[in-house]
Amino acid sequence: MDNKYNLSGLQNIFNEVVDKNEPTIAFEIINGKGKFLFMMFFDNEDESTKDQLFIFLRNTTKMVKLKLYGNHKQGQFYIYLKDFIKEWFIKELLLESNASHQKFNFNDFFEKLNLSIPNTLPLQQKINTLRGSWSDVEDNLPKDIVDDSKKTILIGDKALPDGKKPREKTLRKLYLYADGNVEDITVLIENLKRLNRTVAWTDDLEKLKSSKNIIDILNNKTYNKS
């Protein structure tokens, strides 16, 4: 039978990103010799993404994908671990003997993880974490976390047809590849959503010289209207 644990420490930052409409979570915890990178990526077109947790194990380069159960706003983040996933966690901690494996207490382990989860997660910190880790984790994540992941050159913005809204998987690329500070990225995303616009990307290196940064787009008169 799978063992049940509660990552209740996620409650504060989960509620924070929902309230701020910043649908991305990324932070790292060091526990003993283990290095655990936690990530969540929400999509407003798919509510089930709020139940998906990814934990990248840096030492062993394993990606754990977990389904979260319960009422997250109330601190219920239940996970069920199969034996092979538990073994991955143990190997990530670089425990040196079979005796250590046998004595390992997963209840204590998850209690310590919960206490290490931050209560607040500034956007700049998330961006730094993602940019510093993306090359390590990109190939181990579902391809739809970001839209057209190979297109990383920002070439501008554009209006969307009536009835269409900008997709988080497209806007999230601004965190990863756009040239601009966190405040300007926040302002641009807010305006894109307000005006029903999105950003356009390419992988055409010939367009690199004409690529845009965040300020270039914000200086467009479209965003200076009341």
pLDDT at 110: 93
Query: In the chain, how many domains are there?
Result: 2
CB neighbour class for 71 (10 Å; exposed up to 12, middle 13-18, buried from 19): exposed
Last residue of one domain, picked from the residues 143, 174, 190: 143
Q: How far is CA 218 from CA 157, 163, 191, 195, 214, in A?
A: 10, 23, 9, 12, 6
Say if CB 180 and CB 162 are below 8 A apart: no
Single out the residue of 207, 189, 205 nearest to residue 197, CA to CA. 189
Q: What is the pLDDT of residues 81-134, one digit of tens each?
A: 999 999 999 999 998 766 556 678 999 999 999 999 999 999 999 999 999 999
Residues 75 and 168 both lie in one domain: no
Express each pLDDT in 44-92 by its tens digit. 888 899 999 999 999 999 999 999 999 999 999 999 999 999 999 999 9
139 and 158 assigned to the same domain: no
Q: 19 with 68, same domain?
A: yes
Among 143, 171, 193, the domain boundary falls at: 143
In sequence order, what are the beta bridge partners of 5?
A: 79
Q: Quickly state the pLDDT bin for 180 (edges 50, 70, 90).
A: confident
Which string of b and e fits 184-193 if b means at least 16 CB within 10 Å?
bbbebbebbb
Of 110, 143, 176, at which residue does a domain stop?
A: 143
**Residues 99 and 167 occupy one common structural domain:** no
Range(s) of the domain holding residue 179: 146-224
Residue 12 pLDDT > 80? yes
Average pLDDT over residues 144-153: 88
Q: Judge if 116 and 171 occupy the same domain.
A: no
Cα 37 versus chain centre, distance? 10
Helix spans in the chain (H)? 11-20, 83-92, 98-103, 106-116, 123-137, 168-171, 173-177, 182-195, 214-218
Pair (109, 34) in one structural domain: yes
11, pLDDT greater than 80? yes
pLDDT of 154 reads 94
**Residue-wise pLDDT tens digits, 157-179:** 999 998 889 999 999 999 999 98
